[in-house]
Amino acid sequence: MELNNAKAVRIKIMDFLARREHTNKEIYEKLKRRVEDLNLLKEEIKKLIDEGLIDNKRFAEQYIYARSTKGFGPLRIRQELIKRGVDEKISQSLLESEDWSNFAKLALLKKKGSNILEDRKEILKTKRFLSYRGFNNFHIEEAFSLIRNRENDS
């Protein structure tokens, strides 16, 4: 289906936005092959940004929440946001406001349960897993220490 007028383009964009938040880059990428006039697409995206219906900051807030609760860390989420077209200044300020050591702890508990004091090989494997998930060394070490402290308190 070719989208050749402003109304059809706007309806299609609104259809995407009704399902979930999108960045302006995601919308552009999804529709650039289906729209006859790319300038028309850019104009409609700009109008929706001006109306507040497309908001990269709002997208980033929701994306960070969703990914962090699934056990992903700030390094990985930051790269995913950049790939989706969120400005680095926006993502950086939002990412800095989270307690990533706690998210790393939750991911660690989900992966290993409370029995993390195993052999060195298993600990290194678990740290690599958390690193792959996007947590930096500080967050990983802090997560291990939080769990160890909790076990010592018991």
The answer to whether 24 and 30 have CB atoms below 8 angstroms apart is no
Residues 90 and 116 reside in one and the same domain: no
According to the model, what pLDDT value does residue 154 have? 52
Is residue 114 domain-shared with residue 147, that is, in the same domain? yes
For 132, the domain range is 100-153
pLDDT digits 0-9 by tens, 121-135: 888 999 999 999 999
Q: What is the rounded average pLDDT of the residues 81-94?
A: 95
The CATH number assigned to the domain holding 81 equals 1.10.10
On whether both 141 and 115 belong to a single domain, the answer is yes
Report residue 64 as tokens.
Answer: 């960070």
Q: Is 1 part of any domain?
A: no
Token pair in block for residue 4: 């050749």
Determine the Cα–Cα distance for residues 56 and 26; give it in Å rounded to an integer: 10
**What's the pTM?**
0.87
Mean pLDDT for the stretch of residues 86-106? 94
Same domain, 68 and 112: no
Q: How many domains does the chain have?
A: 3
